[in-house]
Structure 1
Amino acid sequence: MRNLTLSKMIDIPPVWLLGMCSLAWFQSRHFDYGLSIDGAFTDLLSGLLIGAGLILMLLAVSEMRKQRTTVIPHLEAQKLVSTGIFKRSRNPIYLGDVLLLSGLILRWDAVLALPLIPVFFSILERRFIIPEENRLRVAFRMEFAKYCQRVRRWV
């Protein structure tokens, strides 16, 4: 991990995801206040969200490895990846993170943790997506502009 300070090495989406998941789990175990949305439908939905999130992340990491570019947000990309799952979303890993968090919140029946989803979404966008897109815009200029016209940020 060249050119990364310790603070940037720990300021990565998986650490934020782990933090949000920890808060949701803690809330579900210690502060449920009798609130519940548990049921067959939420069990199914949570499984689908968790599975979809993991699949998105695996497809994206696989495609980035195939293209020989970094998956670490603070490093400069060697190549603009617009193939595979990146034809559908400019940020499939972040989308997978949000789906995984949503699925775990439902799985743990952490009703009061539901607001963590838009908070996490906002953190990802402000701390990672916008700075990454700015670096890609500078590095790949016209190619990135065309990519942004073809592919949405999220879905």
Structure 2
Amino acid sequence: MMDARHDHPKLVLPPPTYPAVLFVMAWVLDQHLIPPFIDSVSSAPLLGAILVILGLGAAGWAVLRFMRAGTHVEPHKPTLAMVMDGPFRFSRNPIYASFFALFAGVGMIMKLEWTIVFLPILWLCLRLWVIAPEEAFLSSRFGSEYEHYRQKVRRWL
């Protein structure tokens, strides 16, 4: 049995904090710095809606797989099992991939071009401060089972 203090990855901030903060920054910049240029792209809201639907679907499917496995979605709670089915067959991080779809999709619906500019920053934040600690934790927690899964399944898509 793992020590309760070490049964989950140690993250600086909860993962949804990064897209939320960057989205607010995008909105503020859009409102006060640079006027929208996406207005000329009439299909942006439709494409954004499709991305939002895909993002919500992927995240929902992943959460259901966590629930079915009897483990926690929240990274600050104990990790009780590895989830390798459902969307986790295609991506080790389907929830974080859905963050990108939702971030870009809502940005397109609201015509906030700064969300597109901030996508690489979101990727970097998640990669350094969420995924790296989670992968290190999962490797120490599940050993060769996680390493085999990591070799077999891509990080993103």
> TM-score, normalized by length of structure 1?
0.86
Identity %: 28
User: 1:89 corresponds to which residue?
Assistant: 91
Q: Structure 1 residue 140: deviation in Å?
A: 1.0
Equivalence for 1:32: 34
CA deviations on 1:75-116 (whole Å, 9 max, x unpaired) are 441111101111111101100111111112212222234221
CA distance in 2, matches of 1:11, 1:128: 8
- Quickly say closer, same or farther: Cα 1:97–1:52, change in 2 above 3 A: same
Shift of 1:3: 5.3
Structure 1 residue 34: Cα displacement: 5.2
SS in structure 2 opposite 1:71? Answer: coil
**How far apart are 1:11 and its partner, in Å?**
1.4
Consecutive unaligned residues in structure 1, runs of 5 or more: none
For residues 43-97 of structure 1, what are the alpha-carbon distances to aligned partners after superposition, in whole Å with 9 as ceiling and x for unaligned?
2211111111111111111110110111122344111110111111110110011
Q: 1:55-66, aligned counterparts within 5 Å?
A: 55-66=57-68
Distance 1:51 1:27 in 2: 26
34 and 56 in structure 1: CA distance in 2 versus 1, 3 angstrom threshold? closer
The 3 A distance-change label for structure 1 pair 145 and 37 is farther
Aligned counterparts, 1:98-117, within 5 A: 98-117=100-119
Question: Structure 1 pair 113/98, CA: closer, same or farther in 2 (3 Å)?
Answer: closer
Q: 5 Å matches for 1:18-29?
A: 18-29=20-31
Cα distance in 2, alignment partners of residues 111 and 86 from structure 1: 30
Structure 1 residues 106-150: Cα deviation after superposition (integer angstroms, max 9, x where no partner):
122222342211101111111111111111111111111111122
Q: Which runs of 4+ in 1 moved over 3 A?
A: none
**In structure 1, C-alpha distance between the alignment counterparts of 2:155 and 2:12, rounded to whole Å:** 24
Measure how far apart 1:41 and its partner are: 2.1
- Pairs aligned (count): 151
